Structure 1
Amino acid sequence: MYREFVVPDDQEILETIGEWPGTEEESGARHLTLQGEENESITFSYDALARSVRVRWKNRSGEEIIDVFREGATCMKVHSDKSTTHISLDFHMGECSGRMEIRLFPSFAIKDHLLFT
């Protein structure tokens, strides 16, 4: 069964995260590159039609420390308040469902759970 991947519009992402998503030429996927403390960066890309996301986290030396690609995304939300800014993603893939939380402020952190339902 096909499920739609619901994503916030670009304006909501800009207002919440402070960055306007770019578009990858070849695939048409949207992407954000965010700078953290001490020259760390997270590149987050998402493709609403393919229902996929990719998160790449590089440390201050430019080494990739996390590279996660996941399909089956159903919902993306962006949140910000005085103490934190993050992206949350829900996934449903057959017998599995899960959630990924990407904290962008005050420091980078990623929590990812994918479990049998």
Structure 2
Amino acid sequence: MYGEFRMPDDDVVLQAIGVLPEIQGEGDARVVSLEDASGSEMSLSYDPSERSVRIVWRHGQELLVDLFRERAVSVDIRTESNITYFWIEFRDEGWSASLRIQVFPSLSVKDALFLN
């Protein structure tokens, strides 16, 4: 429908953020576990066979974000102006969306949804 799901090689992620994605299950799913200086922890998982992404962000025992979305078409990692982030795109008939998951120098999530 939208071509092959694109995702970064594990070595590219390791080089960009110093964290090697873990292989989840027996498929191609990946989990990247992150922590910032304030003690917040974030888990970003992406599964090319399911075309899905999940972000779970906690500060201590407090759940800040638990976001799951299907119809992902790509996961990229980018660095601009000393800010490193995952850029995730989603697309389906009638809509598209993007997630910007900043991982350095601090954690943040920006979500945008567009109706076509």
Match of 2:39 in 1: 39
Query: Are 2:100 and 1:101 equivalent residues in the alignment?
Result: yes
Match of 2:21 in 1: 21
Match of 1:64 in 2: 63
SS in structure 2 at match of 1:37? coil
Greater strand share, structure number: 2
Q: 1:74 offset after TM fit, Å?
A: 0.7
Q: 1:80 offset after TM fit, Å?
A: 2.4
Q: 1:27 offset after TM fit, Å?
A: 6.2
Q: 1:24 offset after TM fit, Å?
A: 1.9
Structure 2 CA distance, aligned partners of 1:64 and 1:5? Answer: 29
SS in structure 2 at match of 1:50? coil
SS in structure 2 at match of 1:8? coil
Listed one character per residue, the Cα deviations across residues 60-116 of structure 1 (whole Å, up to 9, x for unaligned) are x22211000011111111012562111000110221101110011111111101121
Structure 2 CA distance, aligned partners of 1:18 and 1:67? Answer: 24
Match of 1:89 in 2: 88
Percent of residue pairs identical: 34
Q: Is contact 2:57–2:66 with CA below 8 Å preserved after alignment?
A: yes
Flag structure 2 segments of 5+ consecutive residues without an equivalent: none
Q: Is contact 2:22–2:31 with CA below 8 Å preserved after alignment?
A: yes
Structure 1 CA distance, aligned partners of 2:4 and 2:29? Answer: 15
